[in-house]
């Protein structure tokens, strides 16, 4: 049980140190390889003709974006 508590404490200290570093540097989280943007892909679905479900989601999002509603205020 002692080894477990020491290990848990060690991980909590490392986690807290990373959190403090993140807070003070004000950097956005990014992967080490740069993610999809380094490959020239703007979004996760970079299809020329998106599927029907995606088109419906984008259409609904565009309608919600332009509407004035109590939730948007």
CA diameter of the chain: 58
pLDDT of residue 43: 62
**73: its two tokens:** 């205020």
pLDDT of residue 11 exceeding 80, the answer is yes
17 alpha carbon, distance to own chain's centre: 21
Q: What pLDDT digit, counting tens, does each position of 15-60 carry?
A: 998 888 777 877 666 666 666 666 666 666 656 777 788 778 888 8
**60: its two tokens:** 């609904």
Q: To the nearest 10°, report the CA torsion of 42, 44, 47, 52.
A: -130
pLDDT of residue 19: 87
pLDDT of residue 9: 97
pLDDT of residue 3 exceeding 80, the answer is yes
**19: its two tokens:** 């959190």
Q: Model-level pTM?
A: 0.36
């Amino acid at each position: 049980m002692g080894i477990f508590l020491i290990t848990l404490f060690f991980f909590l200290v490392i986690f807290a140190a990373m959190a403090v570093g993140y807070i003070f540097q004000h950097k956005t989280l990014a992967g080490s390889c740069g993610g999809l943007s380094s490959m020239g892909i703007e979004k996760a679905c970079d299809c020329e003709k998106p599927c029907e479900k995606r088109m419906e989601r984008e259409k609904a999002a565009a309608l919600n974006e332009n509407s004035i509603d109590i939730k948007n205020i």
